Amino acid sequence: MMRLAMIHENVEARLYRMGYTLRDVRILVRNQLYLATGSVVIAACLGWMYPWLFDFAAGAVLITLNFSSLTQFVQHLVHKRDGAVARLLFRFYGRLFLTGLALFALIVWGNAVVAALLAGLSTVVVTILIWGAAQVIGKNAKEA
């Protein structure tokens, strides 16, 4: 249990050094990283039996890269206003293009199971819902 706490602290510290200075953003990115890492580990262990797990893990990794890039940029956008809209649009469309290329490669050349890939891509929604539920539960606990 102590080892997990140390890993957790190391991940938190590394994310902070990488520029995720806002606590809630860091929590979201951290949880998404845990979910993607867990998906990759499960795919590595059970992928021989269930090949679609690799597609799920690929979707989870792809959305984690997208989400972490977006959240880091939004943090910088909050503090810098000049020319931010043009940079936001450029990065958004660049990320969208690269994601489209990756999805194309996974589906066409990698013969990925589309449902598993979409399920992996939707892990970020689960991460955000869990974070939101924790916020509501924490707020209600403080009021009680």
pLDDT in tens, 10-66: 888 899 999 888 889 999 999 999 999 999 999 999 999 999 999 999 999 999 999
Q: Is residue 62 within 8 Å of 116, Cβ to Cβ?
A: no
- For residue 27, give its domain range: 2-143
The mean-pLDDT minimum among 15-24, 34-43, 87-96, 135-144 falls in: 135-144
Q: Domain tally for the chain?
A: 1
Specify the DSSP class assigned to residue 22: S
Q: Given a cut of 70, is residue 94 above it in pLDDT?
A: yes
Q: Which of 63, 65, 61, 85 is nearest to 74 (CA)?
A: 85
Written as six digits, the tokens of 87 are 């940079």
